Amino acid sequence: MQAPAFGVALSENPFVTRSPHYRAGRRTPRVRPLLAGPSPRATSPELFISVPSTFPRLGVAEPLLHALAVQRFETPTPIQVGAIPALLDGRDLLGIAQTGTGKTAAFGLPLLQRLATENVRPAPFATRALILAPTRELALQIDASLRRLATNLQLRSVTILGGVSRFRQVQAMRRGADIVVGTPGRVCDLLATAELRLGAVSHFVLDEADRMLDLGFIRDIRRIVAALPARRQSALFSATMPKEVAGLAESLLRDPIRVSIAPVAATTPKIEQQVHFVARDQKRPLLMALLGDPAMQRVIVFTRTKRGADRVAEGLEQAGQTVSAIHGNKSQPQREKALDRFRSGRARVLVATDIAARGIDVTGISHVINYDMPVEPESYVHRIGRTARAGASGVAISLCEPGEHGALRAIERCTGAPIAVAGSTQSGPTAAVLKPAGNSRRPRRRNGARRVA
């Protein structure tokens, strides 16, 4: 099937059909998420995918198809199959999907195609499209992905984020931009001085909305949305759908198409998960013993705090490990340097806070180690999702001290499955390292209920 030229949209995607309620004439059907289990009621039209599709059948135009072919993207992911036709048709979209499912291309391809079709020159300090991301790393990753997809298009993008030169960003906006990718804080900063103007925005994307709220960006988001024109196309993507995100979506989107992919419990099929029960003062010796395994070729170690990340990184470096650290107190050049060392293999270990749990796509990560258990169960899924990317397998190891047993139980309830116990020790790490995970059982309470040691 020949791909349509820019400006030509498919009137009906043969691989996407609306619900029977919609076809029967009822315009407020109950919504079941696409490729997912039961969900709360919603008023958005429902989409079903009947058979696998291709990018030409989704309506992607030839210049973008060529860019996809260069990157060897042949088969669209489920979120792309559900989102691309709706966005090309001008609809608002609510996308529920985990990281690593192809969300950037899901909103990036229709965004680039529609901007190229409109062919409008932006005014100074103005932008035609705005994409908000919760972290600098994710914003840079989105911008890099869009640049690769737009190699055959005459579109200009600018990144606006904290931790780097504000002057350079203002200078870049003097010429105007087709796309601005930014973080809420710096976007509000330039918005306040009229060095970023949003009156001409026709396309707005809010990525990782749940993470935005976790980081306290709700006021900045509402301020930015208030500066956008009423007539625009909006898309909101989130890995989870708490009531706060649902409320934000209701205020932001108009009659959106809802596409929901992969529940949390189904996102880690190729990750071997283990937990070591260990005293707090034994975590560092256990970590060193684990890193003695040559199978740990590229490792991310997650800590709860920025200070904790620095302490762990310093200890590993003193022990002879090649290590980089990344957290919110690092400047953007420092974070980019740390990631570059990790990607290139010059650093075997990356110690990070949850800032790296989403949006950092580094291939070949063999192991993820939770030095501190995450406070939120969903963060566990995003942490361990850094391994087993692109069909590969991986190992996730958690070091659980007595005060973190409640967090572990919450994670197991969230994922719907127990985590295998690899070891339990109070005297030292050696026994925990050597004890096989498959033979371990959690100690039982006197009343018969299991408890963690």
pLDDT at 88: 97
* Contact between 211 and 240 (Cβ < 8 Å): no
> Is 367 within the bounds of a domain?
yes
> Is 319 within the bounds of a domain?
yes
Which are the contacts of 25, defined by CB distance < 8 A and separation ≥ 6?
Answer: none
The rounded average pLDDT for each run of 10 residues, N- to C-terminus, in the chain (453 residues) is 39 36 35 35 44 84 95 92 96 87 93 93 96 92 95 95 91 97 96 96 95 87 96 92 89 94 56 94 95 94 94 95 90 85 94 74 89 89 81 89 94 89 58 40 46 39
Q: Indicate the residue type of 235.
A: A
Do both 249 and 271 map to the same domain?
A: no
Do both 285 and 256 map to the same domain?
A: no
Q: d(Cα 436, Cα 47) in Å, to the nearest integer? A: 46
Q: Which of 199, 234, 262 is the last residue in one of the domains?
A: 262
> Is 100 within the bounds of a domain?
yes
Q: Which tokens go with 377?
A: 């169960």
Do both 256 and 360 map to the same domain?
A: no
> Is 247 within the bounds of a domain?
yes
Burial 122-142 (b: 16+ CB within 10 A, else e): beebbbbbbbbbbbbbbbbbb
Instruction: Give the closest residue to 308 by CA, choosing from 330, 292, 327, 289.
Output: 327
pLDDT at 332: 76
* Contact between 150 and 129 (Cβ < 8 Å): no
- State the CB neighbour count (10 A cutoff) for residue 300: 25
Q: Which of 262, 279, 299 is the last residue in one of the domains?
A: 262
Do both 282 and 228 map to the same domain?
A: no
Q: d(Cα 261, Cα 376) in Å, to the nearest integer? A: 21
Phi and psi for 287 in degrees, rounded to 5?
-60, -45
- State the CB neighbour count (10 A cutoff) for residue 154: 8
> Is 6 within the bounds of a domain?
no
Do both 198 and 287 map to the same domain?
A: no
> Is 7 within the bounds of a domain?
no
Do both 44 and 175 map to the same domain?
A: yes
Q: Which tokens go with 444?
A: 């039982």
Q: What is the CATH number of the domain that holds 345?
A: 3.40.50.300
Burial 14-36 (b: 16+ CB within 10 A, else e): ebbeebeeeeeeeeebebbbbbb
> Is 447 within the bounds of a domain?
no
Q: d(Cα 36, Cα 269) in Å, to the nearest integer? A: 15
Domain carrying residue 366: 266-439
Do both 251 and 328 map to the same domain?
A: no
Look up tokens 């199978």; give the residue: 295
Calculate Rg over the CA atoms of the chain: 23
Do both 240 and 325 map to the same domain?
A: no
Phi and psi for 63 in degrees, rounded to 5?
-60, -35
Q: Which of 241, 262, 283 is the last residue in one of the domains?
A: 262
Give, for 446, the enclosing helix (H) or strand (E).
none
Do both 48 and 174 map to the same domain?
A: yes
Q: d(Cα 209, Cα 131) in Å, to the nearest integer? A: 12
pLDDT at 79: 93
Q: How far is C-alpha 130 from the geometric centre of its chain's CA atoms?
A: 18
Do both 296 and 341 map to the same domain?
A: yes
State the Cα angle at 304 between 443 and 441, rounded to 5°.
15
* Contact between 315 and 383 (Cβ < 8 Å): no
Which are the contacts of 269, defined by CB distance < 8 A and separation ≥ 6?
Answer: none
- State the CB neighbour count (10 A cutoff) for residue 218: 15
Q: Give the chain's domain count.
A: 2
Using CA atoms of 269, 17, 116, 198 in order, give the dihedral in degrees to the nearest 10. Answer: -80
Do both 161 and 303 map to the same domain?
A: no
One DSSP character per residue, 261-329 reads ---GGGS-TTEEEEEEEE-GGGHHHHHHHHHT-TT--SEEEE-SSHHHHHHHHHHHHHTT--EEEE-TT
Q: d(Cα 63, Cα 302) in Å, to the nearest integer? A: 40
Do both 83 and 159 map to the same domain?
A: yes
> Is 239 within the bounds of a domain?
yes
pLDDT at 204: 98
Q: d(Cα 204, Cα 127) in Å, to the nearest integer? A: 11
